[in-house]
Amino acid sequence: MIPLNDIPIIEEGDDIADIVCKSISIRDEDIIIIASTIIAKSEGEFFSLENIKPGNKAIKIANRCNMKPELVQAILDRSNECLIEAPFILVEHKNGSICVNAGVDDSNVKSGLYLDLPKDSDRSAREISRRITELTSHNVSVIITDTNGRAFRNGQIAVAVGIANIEPIRDWVGEKDLFGNELQITQEAIADELAAAANLLMGEGNGGTPVIIIRGMNLFSNKKCSVKELYRDNEQDIIRKGLNALKNNS
């Protein structure tokens, strides 16, 4: 794991692939782990609350969460469904991921502005992977990360929110254990484990270190991969059914 310590503050329009290639000599099969905030900044995903008119639902949730109604409206506008309305807001983002506040964040941005998630993080990852190959003629994988809370456990960890040229799940199906029996744990979410590993070196304070290289893992894939493979099917999701039961009861 190699942290890139000289990444400048990213502005709209910056070419992150070019900045990465100037910071380190890329090798074949490097995995480039990038914090979603700098992707969103380079793509100009800023907004302010100025012209947002909160509806009744946003006002109700804002009161329960002690948040600005305009910010809650912005969060609802980005969501398919609100799973938890208070004391914090957990939604299914229009991109399919389950996240707090629809990923909207005001850390590390100028006062009064908010930052969205990248519009399509898989596409952003593919574009950076393609551009790094163009600049260096090396094949690389890209994982874009964000930090998430978890069920049952305190503290956030990083997860993958966009990927390119790496399969997000390593499948142990058919593998045998020490005694020749088939393994029960068969799917390892390696894109999330790589994201969590990189986050150890990223840090949060003062913008941290938003790009980490993981070298020597041999995980490059030519397949068209998507982070959506990590999103559980709604119908199978018992915890989601539980949150719906809670909403219906209240």
Q: Give whichever of 52 and 169 is closer to its own copies, judged by the CB atom.
A: 169
Number of residues that bind its own copies (CB under 8 A): 65
Give per-residue burial for 24-52: e unless 16+ CB within 10 Å, then b.
bebeebbbbbbbbbbbbbbbebeeeeeeb
Q: Can you tell me the distance from the alpha carbon of 112 to that of 44, in angstroms, rounded to the nearest whole number?
A: 15
Please pick, from the candidates 147, 161, 166, 213, the single residue that binds its own copies as defined by CB under 8 A. Answer: 147
Name the one range near its own copies by CB under 8 A: 47-55, 124-132, 133-141, 166-174.
166-174
Nearest CA to 84 out of 230, 114, 76 is that of: 76
> Starting from the edge strand earliest in sequence, which strands make up the sheet with 211-214, in order?
2-3, 211-214, 31-35, 141-148
Q: Which of 44, 59, 120, 246 binds its own copies (CB under 8 A)?
A: 246
Shortest approach of its own copies to residue 98 CB, angstroms? 4
Q: Measured from the CB atom, is 135 or 197 closer to its own copies?
A: 197
Cβ pair 54, 119 in contact under 8 A: no
Distance (Å) of CA 242 to CA 7, 102, 230, 238, 248: 43, 20, 20, 6, 10
Judged by CB, which is closer to its own copies: 127, or 237?
237
Nearer to its own copies (CB atom), residue 1 or residue 135: 1
Binding mask 169-198 for its own copies (x = CB under 8 A): x--x--xxxxx-x-xxx-xxxx-xxx-xx-
CB of 157 to its own copies, least distance (A): 5
State the Cα–Cα distance between residues 124 and 128, nearest whole angstrom: 6
Which tokens belong to 72?
């809650």
Instruction: Write down the residue that tokens 């949730």 correspond to.
Output: 61
Q: Which residues bind its own copies (CB under 8 A)?
A: 1, 9, 84, 98, 105-111, 147, 150-159, 168-169, 172, 175-179, 181, 183-185, 187-190, 192-194, 196-197, 199-200, 204-207, 217, 229-232, 237-246, 249
